[in-house]
Structure 1
Amino acid sequence: MTQFLTGPRARAAFTLRVVMEPPFAIEVRDQAALTVLLPVRGHAWICTAQDDPRAVGAAQAAIVRGPDPYRVADTPDREPTVVIDPDQSCRTPDGDHLAITMHQGVRTWGNDPHGGTVMLIGTYQSEAAVGRLVAAALPPVAVFTEHETDPTLLGLLERELTTSGLGQDSALDRLLDLVLLHLVRAFAHRPGTPLPSWMSGTGDLVVGEALALLHQEPAAPWTIAELARRVHVSRATLAARFRTAVGHPPMTYLTAWRLALAADRLAETPATTAAIATEVGYSSAFTFSTAFTRAYGTNPTAYRRRAHERHRRDLPQTAATTPP
């Protein structure tokens, strides 16, 4: 699982301390890939179209997976009083701008500087930033208890949000990554929780070793025979145990892993399509492009263009709404 948990790489993430006094209901339409909500005082309800409302209280945490809209409110039936748009700007449901009205100091936003509900918010704008397979592993809303949430990390994040200092953006990004990794680890350790293949497969020692090899050496010319030789079992044994633990044959899993790596590389680096194809184990850019288009519904060039357009669109507003 370690290779996946190196995925989150926040870059100038939208981080904010939100202070609200009831009544309130924030309709979030930012289309972000994933948001971490950490109440430090009071409580809030998270309401989505896909699930029943979920309550989250002080010292707990919640992860909301996008890009669908959701509502954060003091009661589950509260109508929206604030709308957050895709550029992280805020307005009333009627369209009146609220950026100045809701500004409450350094990276602090809300309807009352002494509000009874205080939340720390961290938003990953794209799946590339959070790690595509990490995001996909989580349900639309995951709520974590006080025992699953580290109070030390919450304290560090709140302190960094409420002070100014050199390298603050980088510090906030790294703290947000650490909080997310801690919560994903807690989620993975929940008994009886359905896990994605890259988590569940590690329960079998042989399959876990095979997964580690595929993750560490994605570009190697793997065959089922070579993988079985490396983990010291027969081809038939590896194939049977891998399918039982992971749900897919080893080579099918390897293809998905290679393409997930490539998607992150396309979004995060200027490397050419040909270079990325070689890096993840494809013999030609054409073969890679065909496989990528089949899996993602768009070719690598278009995927990269959309990712970069989204990043350029988000950065200016993020800087404008979070003064140093």
Structure 2
Amino acid sequence: MDLLSDVIAVTRTGEPRSAKITWTTPWSHWFGPVPAAAGFQVILHGRCWLLRPGHAPLELREGDILFLAHGQGHTLADSPPGAEPRATATRTVTLCGAYELDPARAHPLLRTLPETIHLPARLGVDLRLAVDLLSAELTEPRLGTDALVPALLESLLVYILRTWFESPDEPATGWALALRDPVIAAALRAMHENPAEPWTVATLASSAGLSRAPFARRFAEKVGQPPLTYLTWWRMTIAAQLLRDTTAPLTVIAGKVGYGSEFAFSAAFKRQFGVSPGRYRRARDLQS
């Protein structure tokens, strides 16, 4: 089980988008908010400033990456407000992009990310490599570029999130704290590897090597909800994906997510999504 891969697989939708832009001083550009999306900015050459209402200007240098987890609007500019104009023209090259997310299936790991994640250039050799490959394909398209760019964008998203979660410079809060806790990580791994298992708080605690009550408290504190609440949410999220992407019968889907009958599964699904599995599937078919 790789929880981060699972999270991206169930949340991502549509095709990611990107563009490479060259700016020459003086310049300033407002990037409007993009609902149900996560965006990024990579400084390929030069430097610029991130400007946001209510926040101090943030200088971004060559190689820095900015990840906007909730698609909020922002401004990039060649200098902060009030700065003296530069005597000579300078050039800045940025790589921007966005990932479309399904708000109905947004994993709490993504929902609880900070609005803005700043990754300095010194972090992540693999992250830098992904940026370089993507930049090269956008600069000089060649045979296979149309296939490579979406794959490289998907890789970049994984590297950005992995680098942030593993960075020793970032405070361990929210899901970063949960994933760094071996007990909680073991329980999450068990749920993600075997969602159809008839898990109880006791069996999850045992798989994580802790007694029931301390485990339940620790899980709720780190994850933000009780173990079985998260398990039900994850099962229903998998079920929604199967309903959307496959033609598997409801009885088969029910079994894959731990329900012994179609009736029990349908009732749980309706509690989560407000509609029956059949209506959910039909609605998705009409949208595609």
- The Cα offsets for residues 156-210 of structure 1, whole Å up to 9 and x where unpaired, read as 111111222343233112212222222212221344524334x423433333222
1:304 and 1:158, CA in 2 relative to 1: closer, same or farther beyond 3 A?
farther
TM-score by length of 2: 0.75
Specify every segment of 5 or more residues in structure 2 that has no aligned partner in the other structure, as ranges.
83-88
Q: From 244, 265, 269, give the equivalent of 1:288.
A: 269
Whole-angstrom CA distance in 2 between matches of 1:179 and 1:123 = 11
Q: Which amino acid is 2:16 matched to?
A: A
- Aligned partner of residue 27 in structure 2, secondary structure: coil
Give the letter aligned to residue 22 of structure 2. V
CA contact (8 A) 2:267 2:276 kept: no
C-alpha contact (below 8 Å) 1:45/1:73 kept by paired residues: yes
Superimposed CA distance per residue, residues 136-171 of structure 1 (whole angstroms, 9 cap, x where no aligned partner) = 242111111111243322211111112223432331
Provide the rounded CA distance (Å) in 2 between the counterparts of 1:29 and 1:192. Answer: 25
Check the 8 A contact 1:8/1:177 in 2, yes or no. no
Cα 1:76–1:255, aligned 2, differ >3 Å: closer, same or farther? Answer: farther
Q: What corresponds to 2:216 in structure 1?
A: 239
Shift in Å, 1:121? 1.7
Q: Does 1:227 align with 2:231?
A: no
Partner of 1:146: 121
Give me the identity figure in percent: 26
Q: Bigger shift: 222-231 or 48-57?
A: 48-57
Aligned residues: 269
Instruction: Quote the residue 2:31 is aligned against.
Output: 27
Aligned pairs (5 A) from 1:179-198: 179-189=156-166, 190-191=168-169, 193-197=171-175
Taking the TM superposition and a 5 Å limit, the aligned residue runs for 1:5-44 are 5-8=5-8, 12-21=15-24, 22-31=26-35, 33-44=37-48
Backbone CA RMSD of aligned residues: 3.6
Taking the aligned partners of 2:169 and 2:205, their CA distance within structure 1 comes to 30
1:52, 1:302 → 2: CA distance? 44
Cα 1:123–1:305 change in 2 (3 A) is farther
The question of whether the paired residues in 2 share the 8 Å contact of 1:41 and 1:117 is answered with yes
Change (3 A) 1:179 1:66: same
Distance of aligned partners of 1:206 and 1:121 in 2 relative to their CA distance in 1, 3 Å threshold: same
Uncovered stretches (5+) of structure 1, i.e. residues with no partner: 79-113, 313-324
Q: Following superposition of structure 1 onto structure 2, how do residues 1-324 of structure 1 map, counting pairs within 5 Å?
A: 2-8=2-8, 12-21=15-24, 22-31=26-35, 33-49=37-53, 51-77=55-81, 116-127=91-102, 132-149=107-124, 150-189=127-166, 190-191=168-169, 193-197=171-175, 199-262=176-239, 269-271=245-247, 274=250, 278-282=255-259, 283-293=264-274
Between 151-160 and 224-233, report the one with greater CA deviation: 224-233
